[in-house]
Chains A and B, each alone.
Chain A
Amino acid sequence: MTPPIGALAARGRPLPPGRQLVEDYLAQVGARLPGPVRERADIIAELRGGLLDAVDAYRDAGLSAPDAAATAIEEFGGPGRVAAAFGPGLALSQARRVALTLLVTGPLVGLLWAIAATASHIASRAALPWHWVGAPPGSLMVFPLAVAIVLAVWTALFTIAATGRATRWLPDRPRLAPGTAAVAGFGAAGADVALLVLLASQLTVAPGTLAAAPVAAAALASATRLVLAGRAACHCLATRTALAGPR
């Protein structure tokens, strides 16, 4: 369930009637906003400032506190409409964050596998995981691994490029970036699957050649990223689907 970000009123003293209306309205907007908690809280804080400024202006013009709040809220627009207007921007933020996280964690996971290969006896033959196994079951994974890595890197780079300053020139297509971020996430997850299959085949063919601790660390890192990248990709797809709805 979405946390009620706008709901400040529950703690402490009860708010004056006008202010309570504003907080109720903000809670309704907050409940409809998708995306990261911090960014939603930031948006609600900005909306609160603007709404309270409008309430003050109506109070100065002679309206009672509840009337001033009700008028300001009515002018602001329905909570669904206001939240929907933030949707495309929040979708871009989400896609950008997923792509950045993948680009930062990717080399770390790769480094752990390189350490695992170096620490293992097979390192004397080759440091790259796809050289571990000469036997077909393992070497067959080399191609999907390369494809997954290239796909993930390029779609992540594209996502970052398409969600920053470049939005100034790009056509308004908010569903594109969540889509490419999802591809990057699934690409990274695919690379992890390929690496874990390579490891499994190496364990089957020549179990004694591996250094237990570094290999376990690399496998754990890949398994963790597999789950997280897959989940992030699914979230991006859900956001993309939500944007396709009535706007």
Chain B
Amino acid sequence: MRPETLKGHLDGMLLAALEPGPRHGYAIMEALRAGSGGQFDLPTGTIYPALRRLERAGLVAGTWSEAGGRRRRVYELTPAGHHTLDTERGTWRQFSAAVTALLEPAPRPVTS
């Protein structure tokens, strides 16, 4: 998949990756990779600025954690983040249903 196709939906995908619970950057990346069947191939470094943007908007909350001498920033969804994710999901379902209806070949009319 082309990176620009993914980029427009990055915020929604990041929120979805955090829905099961708090995760740090690398775990979010792994969740996106696994969840997309390896289709998610944006440069890893670009998810960090996106997470900071979501944090500024109050959709996720970040806290530092330290384990094994390594500092990681752990993010979790805020109530506003949950709400936005629900909205994004609804919008996406409508959009994808409409595009599918238009792009999929129409079933042949039954003649008899």
Contact = CB atoms under 8 A, between A and B. Distances in A.
Interface of A: 29, 43, 45-50, 52-54, 57, 72, 75-78, 81-82, 85-86, 88-89, 92, 163-165, 167-168
Nearest to A76: B45
B89 interface: no
A50 B44 contact: yes
Contact of A50 (B25, B58, B59, B80): B25
Given A47-B48, A76-B44, A85-B46, A52 B56 contact: no
Contacts of A47: 45, 48
Interface string B6-50: 000000000000000000111101100000000000011110111
Interface residues of B, number: 25
The A interface is mostly helix, strand or loop, or mixed, namely: helix
Given A49-B24, A49-B71, A168-B80, A75 B57 contact: no
Contacts of B93: none
- Chain A to chain B: the 9 pairs with minimum beta-carbon distance, closest first: A77-B43, A53-B26, A82-B45, A168-B57, A50-B25, A85-B49, A76-B45, A77-B45, A49-B72
B26 A86 contact: no
B29 A50 contact: yes
Contacts of A76: 43-45
A75 B43 contact: yes
A116 to B, nearest CB: 40
B56 A49 contact: no
A43 B43 CA distance: 16
Given A54-B44, A89-B49, A89-B52, A46 B57 contact: no
B88 to A, nearest CB: 12
Contacts of A168: 57-59, 80, 84
Contacts of A81: 43, 45-46
Contacts of A86: 48-49, 52
A183 B72 CA distance: 37
B30 to A, nearest CB: 8
Contacts of A50: 24-26, 29, 44, 48, 72
Contact of B26 (A49, A78, A165, A167): A49
Nearest to B67: A49
A163 B26 CA distance: 27
18 contacts: A45-B71, A46-B25, A49-B24, A49-B26, A53-B27, A53-B72, A54-B44, A57-B26, A76-B44, A77-B43, A77-B44, A77-B45, A81-B45, A85-B45, A85-B46, A86-B48, A164-B58, A167-B56
Contacts of A89: 49, 52-53, 56
B108 interface: no
A69 to B, nearest CB: 13
Nearest to B72: A49
Contacts of B50: 85
Instruction: From A49, A57, A77, A165, name the one whose CB has the most chain B CB atoms within 10 angstroms.
Output: A49
Nearest to A78: B43
